[in-house]
């Protein structure tokens, strides 16, 4: 049969098979709220009806600005169900960036956490957003309260609108190295196939018996597809809202008997520290797997969780891939290998998930899968973007239909991908991007500055942090503090370089570009 792969199919499955399975959310007061997929689906359908009643039509963009909780799951299911496109705005971005993104996407409505209203108000006036729906609190004048909207909408009016599986269900923006963020649209088919693919046993193995804790925010690339995979399989979902500290997460893991958690390394490092500091204090015996991705999972982190009987699954992905691309599992050939050998295999980013294909290209064409030849990773597949919204960034796609990732890799003979370097000029701090070029341009806009280069330097907690190297104009003087003050109003706080150092010159390539590898080497050598 020509059975459309749509969010409708996931919703129907959750309603008919998993209605009694729990969805647990951390509430604003710190307590825990419980609901079920049955109730979530009913409310998602009310949301669909309500969006129609305020004039949202198929193809319209509906933004969310919120943390991980049941209402956000309702939007994940309810917005695409009316044919509209769910646009998850990243609450950590600077208001200028958010204004640009909401404009570019053409967001008509936004579902906003009450606790985030001040941040939302900082950019809302510069967007086309007509309707603001407030979750978890009272709606100020001119806005709608989510609960009132749902209460007033008649679920009997819900009809499953006919959806083309190739139509857009959601969208997300990716940080640009230069220029502005680029939009990626996910089709219904992409989300359905991605949910199926991450549920396979060689992938993340999301299953009905699991209790899944997506620590990765729902404003980050579909929360790695976990909400859809959980609703499809019937896994219990545990949603931590904004409480992402180790103590709060451990409490949820223990009391909700979480079996599978997922997030960036920065989130799991303090959890490991807490477990190490008081062995036996937290009963994490239910937890068998943590999926770590978004940045390389350090080998020590994988080894550390092993000590507590928790397997780390290392995953690599991108916004342009919905996002899971590869998952690192011990291949069958190494099943009997010594621990150290298996550990080395698990520290790699792993093999492509089903319906994703990978290859790497060097200066002389595609490189062999020999585990040694470097090349830029190119991918294609059922959950890989074919283009950016509005035709931006066309240079990222090859003429023969592959997407250029900007990651420099080696590929082992068995297809295992190892990320070796990054071709894109970005810094990843705590799982969020910082554009070195944007900081450089701002620094070079200062009258005292002749040249500025910003590079990523390793950081124990955040993975990477920005370091700025500045060359002053002849005779000019300015202090590092003065330069920081200059940057402060223009960037999110966590973008500001930890250190600004002054140098006589910045090493350059033959074509006059900053040689960032040389700067990173200099920093490494102190
Ligand atoms: P996400 O929100 O999933 O991090 P982004 O599109 O923002 O997606 O970032 C994708 C990039 O993050 C990759 O191209 C790569 O540079 C980096 N990345 C993601 N996962 C890993 C990993 N496991 N190891 C190394 N780098 C990674």
Q: What is the dihedral of CA 228, 231, 235, 241, to 10 degrees?
A: 70
Question: What residue's CA is closest to ligand 1, atom 9?
Answer: 318
Query: Which atom of ligand 1 has the smallest separation from the CA of 432?
Result: 7
**C-alpha of residue 296 to centroid of ligand 1, in Å:** 8
Question: What residue's CA is closest to ligand 1, atom 12?
Answer: 294
Catalytic residue among 42, 45, 71, 320: 320
Q: Which of these, 244, 246, 218, 243, lies nearest to 230 by C-alpha position?
A: 218
Query: Which atom of ligand 1 has the smallest separation from the CA of 405?
Result: 14
At residue 526, the pLDDT reads 77
**C-alpha of residue 294 to centroid of ligand 1, in Å:** 4
Question: What residue's CA is closest to ligand 1, atom 5?
Answer: 318
- C-alpha–C-alpha distance, residues 139 and 21, integer Å: 31
Contacts for 450-453: CB closer than 8 Å, 24+ residues apart: 450/474, 450/476, 451/506, 451/514, 453/506, 453/514, 453/516, 453/519
**CB 403 within 8 Å of CB 144:** no
Query: Which atom of ligand 1 has the smallest separation from the CA of 433?
Result: 7
Position 179 pLDDT exceeds 90: no
Q: Which of 57-61, 154-158, 181-185 has the lowest mean pLDDT?
A: 154-158
**Both ends of the chain: CA-CA distance in Å?**
64
Query: Which atom of ligand 1 has the smallest separation from the CA of 292?
Result: 23
At residue 135, the pLDDT reads 98
At residue 421, the pLDDT reads 85
- Taking residues 265-287, report their average pLDDT: 95
Query: Which atom of ligand 1 has the smallest separation from the CA of 406?
Result: 14
Q: Which of 281-290, 336-345, 418-427 has the lowest mean pLDDT?
A: 418-427
**C-alpha of residue 146 to centroid of ligand 1, in Å:** 33
Question: What residue's CA is closest to ligand 1, atom 26?
Answer: 295
User: Residue 513 catalytic?
Assistant: no
Q: Which residues on adjacent β-strands are paired with residue 211? A: 236
Question: What residue's CA is closest to ligand 1, atom 27?
Answer: 295
Catalytic residue among 224, 433, 462, 495: 433
The beta strand positions in 201-240, using DSSP E, are: 211-214, 236-239
pLDDT-above-90 percentage for the chain: 90
- Res. 437 pLDDT band, cuts 50 70 90: confident
User: Residue 236 catalytic?
Assistant: no
At residue 134, the pLDDT reads 98
Give the residue, out of 92, 318, 325, 347, with the most ligand 1 atoms within 8 A of its beta carbon, to mutate for a pocket test: 318
**C-alpha of residue 176 to centroid of ligand 1, in Å:** 13
At residue 107, the pLDDT reads 98
Q: Which residues on adjacent β-strands are paired with residue 86? A: 62, 170
Query: Which atom of ligand 1 has the smallest separation from the CA of 175?
Result: 7
At residue 522, the pLDDT reads 84
Q: How many CB atoms lie within 10 A of CB 287?
A: 25
CATH superfamily of 7-19+38-200: ANL, N-terminal domain (3.40.50.12780)
Angle (nearest 5°) at CA 315 between 403 and 414: 75
Q: Is 377 helix (H, G, I), strand (E, B) or coil?
A: strand
- C-alpha–C-alpha distance, residues 385 and 80, integer Å: 18
**C-alpha of residue 381 to centroid of ligand 1, in Å:** 17
- C-alpha–C-alpha distance, residues 319 and 310, integer Å: 27
Position 177 pLDDT exceeds 70: no
pLDDT per residue as tens digits for the range 9-19: 999 999 999 99
Instruction: List residues near ligand 1 (CB under 6 A).
Output: 174, 220-221, 293-296, 314-319, 323, 349, 405-407, 419, 422, 433
Token reading at 317? 């992905």
- Res. 178 pLDDT band, cuts 50 70 90: low
pLDDT per residue as tens digits for the range 331-363: 999 999 999 999 999 999 999 999 999 999 998
Question: What residue's CA is closest to ligand 1, atom 19?
Answer: 294
**C-alpha of residue 33 to centroid of ligand 1, in Å:** 32
Query: Which atom of ligand 1 has the smallest separation from the CA of 321?
Result: 6
User: Residue 462 catalytic?
Assistant: no
**C-alpha of residue 131 to centroid of ligand 1, in Å:** 33
Each domain of the chain, given as residue ranges in start order, spans 7-19+38-200, 427-524
**C-alpha of residue 318 to centroid of ligand 1, in Å:** 5
Q: Which of 62-76, 119-133, 163-177, 346-360 has the lowest mean pLDDT?
A: 163-177
Give the residue, out of 266, 268, 316, 417, with the most ligand 1 atoms within 8 A of its beta carbon, to mutate for a pocket test: 316
- Taking residues 291-298, report their average pLDDT: 94
pLDDT per residue as tens digits for the range 371-380: 999 999 999 9
Token reading at 36? 């079920």
**C-alpha of residue 474 to centroid of ligand 1, in Å:** 40
Q: Which of 171-175, 399-403, 420-424 has the lowest mean pLDDT?
A: 420-424
- Taking residues 232-256, report their average pLDDT: 98
How many angstroms separate the Cα of 469 from the Cα of each of 57, 108, 134, 271, 458?
A: 50, 42, 43, 34, 16
**CB 408 within 8 Å of CB 376:** yes
Strands 131-135 and 144-145: parallel
pLDDT per residue as tens digits for the range 186-222: 999 999 999 999 999 999 999 999 999 999 999 999 9
Could you please state the CATH topology (level 3) that the domain comprising 427-524 is classified under.
GMP Synthetase; Chain A, domain 3 (3.30.300)
How many angstroms separate the Cα of 517 from the Cα of each of 258, 409, 463?
A: 41, 16, 17
Position 61 pLDDT exceeds 70: yes
User: Residue 42 catalytic?
Assistant: no
Catalytic residue among 88, 127, 174, 405: 174
Catalytic residue among 182, 236, 424, 428: 428
- Res. 176 pLDDT band, cuts 50 70 90: low
At residue 278, the pLDDT reads 94
């Amino acid at each position: 049969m020509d059975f459309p792969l749509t969010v409708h199919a996931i919703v129907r499955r959750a309603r008919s098979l998993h209605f009694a399975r729990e969805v647990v959310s951390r509430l604003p007061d710190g307590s825990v709220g419980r609901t079920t997929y049955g109730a979530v689906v009913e409310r998602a359908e009310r949301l669909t009806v309500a969006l129609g009643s305020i004039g949202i039509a198929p193809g319209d963009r509906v933004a969310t600005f919120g943390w991980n909780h049941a209402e956000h799951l309702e939007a994940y299911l309810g917005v695409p169900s009316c044919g509209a496109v769910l646009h998850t705005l990243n609450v950590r971005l600077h208001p200028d960036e958010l204004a640009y993104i909401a404009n570019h996407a053409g967001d008509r409505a936004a579902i906003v956490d009450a606790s985030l209203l001040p941040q939302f108000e900082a950019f809302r006036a510069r967007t086309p957003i007509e309707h603001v729906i407030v979750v978890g609190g009272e709606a100020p004048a001119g806005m709608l309260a989510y609960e009132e909207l749902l209460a007033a909408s008649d679920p009997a009016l819900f009809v499953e609108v006919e959806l083309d599986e190739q139509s857009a269900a959601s969208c997300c923006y990716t940080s640009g190295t230069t220029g502005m963020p680029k939009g990626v649209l996910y089709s219904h088919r992409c989300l359905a196939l991605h949910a199926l693919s991450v549920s396979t046993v060689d992938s993340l193995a999301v299953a009905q018996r699991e209790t899944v804790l997506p620590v990765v925010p729902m404003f980050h690339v579909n929360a790695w597809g976990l909400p859809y995979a959980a609703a499809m399989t019937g896994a219990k979902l545990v949603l931590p809202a904004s409480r992402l500290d180790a103590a709060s997460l451990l409490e949820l893991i223990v009391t909700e008997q979480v079996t599978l958690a997922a997030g960036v390394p920065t989130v799991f490092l303090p959890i490991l520290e807490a477990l190490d500091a008081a062995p036996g204090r937290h009963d994490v015996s239910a937890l068998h797997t943590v999926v770590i991705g978004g940045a390389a999972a350090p080998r020590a982190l994988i080894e550390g969780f092993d000590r507590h009987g928790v397997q780390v699954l290392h995953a690599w992905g991108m916004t342009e891939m919905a996002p899971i691309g590869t998952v690192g599992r011990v291949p069958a050939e190494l099943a009997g290998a010594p621990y150290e050998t298996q550990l080395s295999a698990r520290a790699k980013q792993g093999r492509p998930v089903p319906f994703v294909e990978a290859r790497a290209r060097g200066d002389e064409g595609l490189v062999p899968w020999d585990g040694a030849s470097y090349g830029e990773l190119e991918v294609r597949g059922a959950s890989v973007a074919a283009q950016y919204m509005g035709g931006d960034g066309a240079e990222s796609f090859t003429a023969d239909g592959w997407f250029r990732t900007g990651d420099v890799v080696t590929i082992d003979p068995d297809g295992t991908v190892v990320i070796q370097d990054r071709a894109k000029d970005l810094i990843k701090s705590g799982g969020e991007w910082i554009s070195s070029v944007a900081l450089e341009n701002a620094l070079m806009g200062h009258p005292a500055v002749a040249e500025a280069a910003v590079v990523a330097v390793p950081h124990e907690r955040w993975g990477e942090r920005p370091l700025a190297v500045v060359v002053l104009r002849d005779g000019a003087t300015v202090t590092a503090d003065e330069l920081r003050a200059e940057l402060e109003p223009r960037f999110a706080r966590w973008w500001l370089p930890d250190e600004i150092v002054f140098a006589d010159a910045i090493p350059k390539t033959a074509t006059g570009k900053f040689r960032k590898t040389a700067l990173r080497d200099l920093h490494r050598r102190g």
